Amino acid sequence: MKTTAAQASAAPASQLRFRDPQIEMAHGAGGKASRRLVEGLFAPLLGGALLEPLADAATLELDGTRLALTADSFVVRPLRFPGGSIGELAVNGTVNDLAVSAARPLALLVTFVIEEGIATATLEAEVRAIADAARRAGVEVVGGDTKVVERGNADGMYVTTAGVGRVDPRTRCAASAVRPGDQVLLSGPIGDHGITILLARGDIELEAELRSDTRSVYPMVESLLAAAAADVHWMRDPTRGGVATALNELARDSRLGVVLVEEAISVRDAVRGACELLGLDPLHIANEGQFLAVVAPAAAEAALAAVRSVPGGEAAAIIGEVREQPARTVLAAAAYGGTRVVDMLVGDPLPRIC
């Protein structure tokens, strides 16, 4: 979730709706608390009256061309994990934010905040990872910055990337474009990244053959736009907070409802097993290589075929649809008729024993 700057002057402090006395981990988890922070503190001070709902990237118009601008910070621990590392996340994360804004990624800036004492080999490995990921994603790293902070800070290193891309003129993605009857498409299995990280931290002592799904989703998005650009109404990459949070944002911003079919949502066995063991919901777990798209019903078949035709998109599926009611709510329906509300994440997903 990013803050888009709009015109008008900043709101006075008395108008700030954000009243928490201190900042906590929940405010960065991507769920309700994060949203409150952005809407209640950042937006009023940075943008005045909010003209658009918060999206993954800001769009600027330059001589008739629409550009998408986005930035993201990466604070993952451990730095290296099965399937990738912080460097790859940093590239793919920003590339994906541009992709789901229907923008072809053009260039990245990369900044490092490095903890004093970290081995040069560690930094080199991440720079290589960034170079490789950028090459695979077809995007250039054109600049950046580096700072070093004292030992004990930065968990090894923090990486921030900022990216710019050219928005596809054939499409206009916004919550306001979404209509009842629109189909919800998900590019592949969920939960891989978040569970991989959880296990890689070593606190739990669960072992599984799992890898982060970090990758650029742009090839799939490109194929989707080629097949159905005018019919793609909304896209998002379900990172922190998972599919549940992304779709809840859609429901709230569009004031419509989303009904999901539980069985259509693909979850790898190991992710499911870990989630059952820990009492977590895969819908709340972060993904780094998937995207959601909402498409007009007439184009759904072509859209799905387009995404599936891309290597890595074979598991794409239609997982639900947009409805008028229940408004602002995401529901999941099971095959036997039971329905439940899928809520936005509150704070970090905490394993439970009860």
Partner 1 sequence: MCLAIPGRIIEMTADLPLAVVEVSGVRRQVNVDLLREDGIGPGDWVLIHVGFAMSKISEDGAQEQMRMLAMLGEDQQAMDEIQGYDFGREP
Partner 2 sequence: MQAMRYVDEFRDPKLIRQAAEEIRRLVQPGRHYRIMEVCGGHTHAIYRFGLEGLLPENLELIHGPGCPVCVLPMGRTDDGLALAELPGVVFTAFGDVMRVPGTKGSPLEHKARGAEIRMVYSPLDALKLAQSDPGKHVVFFAIGFETTAPSTALTLLRARQLGVRNFSVFCNHVTIIPAIRAILDSPGMRLDAFVGPGHVSTVIGCRPYEFITEDYGKPLVVSGFEPLDILQSLVMILRQLADGRAEVENQYARVVPWEGNLPALRALDEVFELRPYFEWRGLGFISQSALKLRDAFAEWDSERRFTVPGIRVTDPKAAQCGEVLKGVLKPPQCKLFGRECTPERPVGALMVSSEGACAAYHHYVHRVAAAASPGP
Residue 276 engages partner 1 in binding (rule: CB under 8 A)? yes
Region 189-228 residues binding partner 1, contact defined as CB under 8 A: 205-209
Number of chain positions touching partner 1 (CB under 8 A):
16
Residue 209 binds which entry of partner 2, partner 1, none, CB below 5-8 Å type-dependent: partner 1
Query: Do residues 232 and 303 lie in contact, with contact meaning Cβ atoms separated by under 8 Å?
Result: yes
Q: Which does 61 bind (CB under 5 to 8 A by kind): partner 2, partner 1, none?
A: none
The yes or no reply on residue 352 touching partner 1 (CB under 8 A) is yes
Cα atoms in the Cβ-side hemisphere of radius 13 Å centred on 225: 21
Contact between 236 and 100 under an 8 Å Cβ cutoff? The reply is yes
Residue for token pair 């001070």: 45
Beta bridge partners of residue 235, listed in sequence order: 293
Question: Binding residues for partner 2, per CB under 8 A?
Answer: 22-26, 32-33, 36, 183, 203-204, 257, 259, 261, 266-269, 272-273, 276, 278-279, 318, 320-321, 323, 325-327, 329, 331, 333-341, 343, 346-347, 350-354
In the bound state with partner 2, the residue whose beta carbon lies nearer, of 170 and 340, is 340
* Residue whose CB is less far from partner 1, 152 or 337: 337
- Residue 338 tokens read as 């039971």
CA distances from 61 to 65, 94, 167, 243 (A): 6, 20, 10, 30
Gap between the Cα atoms of 241 and 230, Å rounded:
28
Smallest separation, CB 151 to partner 2 (Å): 19
- C-alpha span between 20 and 36 (Å, rounded): 10
- Is residue 353 involved in binding partner 1 (CB under 8 A)? yes
Residue 103 or residue 270: which is nearer to partner 1 going by CB?
270
Evaluate whether 76 touches 86 at the Cβ level (below 8 Å).
yes
Can you say how many angstroms the Cα of residue 333 is from the centroid of all Cα atoms in its chain?
24
Q: Which DSSP helix (H) or strand (E) runs through 248?
A: helix 242-254
CB of 196 vs partner 1, minimal distance in Å: 12
Q: Residue 119 touches which of partner 2, partner 1, none (CB < 5 to 8 A by kind)?
A: none
Residue 255, amino acid: R
Q: How far is the CB of 338 from partner 1 (least distance, A)?
A: 17
The entry of partner 1, partner 2, none that residue 323 binds, CB within 5 to 8 Å by partner kind: partner 2
Give phi and psi for 207, each to the nearest 5. -120, 140
**Least gap, CB of 22 to partner 2 (angstroms):** 6
146 or 339: CB nearest partner 2: 339
Using the rule CB under 8 A, which residue among 68, 250, 274, 345 binds partner 1?
Answer: 274
**In this structure, what token pair is assigned to residue 248?**
């809840």
The whole-angstrom separation of Cα 34 and Cα 288 is 18
- Compute the distance between CA of residue 41 and CA of residue 83 in angstroms, rounded to an integer: 36
Question: Nearest approach, Cβ of 262 to partner 2 (angstroms)?
Answer: 10
- Please report how close the Cβ of residue 285 comes to partner 2 at its closest, in angstroms: 15
Q: What angle do CA 210, 213, 217 make, to 5 degrees?
A: 165
Shorter beta-carbon distance to partner 1: residue 220 or 267: 267
Quote the radius of gyration of the chain (alpha carbons, Å).
20
Answer with the entry of partner 2, partner 1, none that 160 interacts with (C-beta below 5 to 8 A by kind): none
The minimum distance between CB 341 and partner 1, in angstroms, equals: 20
Q: Using CB under 8 A, list all residues that contact partner 1.
A: 205-209, 269-270, 272-274, 276-277, 279, 352-354
